[in-house]
Amino acid sequence: MIHRVIQIDSQHEKRTFVWLLMKPECWITKRFETYGFDMIKTVAFDLGGVIMEIDNEEPTRRFQEIGVQDATTLLDPYTQAGIFGDLEHGKISEEEFRQQLSAHVGHELTWQQCQYAWLGYAKSVPKHSFPTLLRLREMGYRVVLASNTNGFMQSWVDSEKFSGDGHAVSFYFDELYRSYEMKEMKPDEGFFSYILSHENILPENMLFIDDSPRNCAIASKMGVLTYCPENGTDWTGAVMDILQKDRR
């Protein structure tokens, strides 16, 4: 269903965005160019909620288990704050996080305990996405990860345990854009600008898939094509449809 049509004039081109409202938590934005085809060059995927189904309750339980009794107020499913945010923003190291969290709870925590708690977010890694990621690369797209994350999570994601069949996340992607390494976090525009700059593309050359409506809204405002599936749903068909329409 067409929600609204917006005319945008820029120094580069005049284009029309047709916003298709799929449901309250999920939308697709589709661009019709007045000239030029195959505009999408890079497809960027969020990790938690898209490639990996996340559990928003288990990490709270695990952090409380290791002594963080106020974990409910400290954790956020999309953008962390406090020392949790500092970790994912790359402002503090894993060791500094461990030390500060140990001071917060009043007893010494190990690196392994911290990782155990963070991995509570990893509910499952659906295998249906992996063939599509590889197929997109075969089709000539740059396939990149675009994630707010940290070293505790990525130590597992970077291991052969991640996929369930012996592959680390890097096997499926051309580039990994991770907040703690970039020193940028979603939904800040700087996060998306960093990726566009390093990919050497314009906003209209990127399709961004993320389960956070706020992240998608900021990317869309910048001119990036976005798709916002619900956490853990199969997005493969919808993404392929978007790309097929872009090639027409």
Catalytic residues, by residue number, are 46
Give kind and range of the element (H or E) at residue 53.
Answer: strand 53-54
> What's the half-sphere exposure (Cβ side, CA atoms, 13 Å) at 217?
4
CB atoms within 10 A of CB 33: 14
Q: Is the dihedral of CA 1, 38, 174, 130 positive or negative?
A: positive
Q: Tell me the angle at which helices 236-246 and 129-138 cross, rounded to the nearest 10 degrees.
A: 20
The position carrying tokens 């990919």 is 199
Answer whether 149's CB lies under 8 Å from 180's CB.
yes
Q: Residues with Cβ < 8 Å from 147, sequence gap 6 or more? A: 46, 47, 48, 176, 177, 178, 179
d(CA 30, CA 5): 10
How far is C-alpha 211 from the chain's CA centre? 8
Contact present, 75 and 60 (Cβ < 8 Å): yes
Helices (H) and strands (E) in the chain, counts: 11, 10
CB–CB of 43/243 below 8 Å?
Answer: yes
Q: Return d(Cα 234, Cα 230) in angstroms, integer.
A: 9
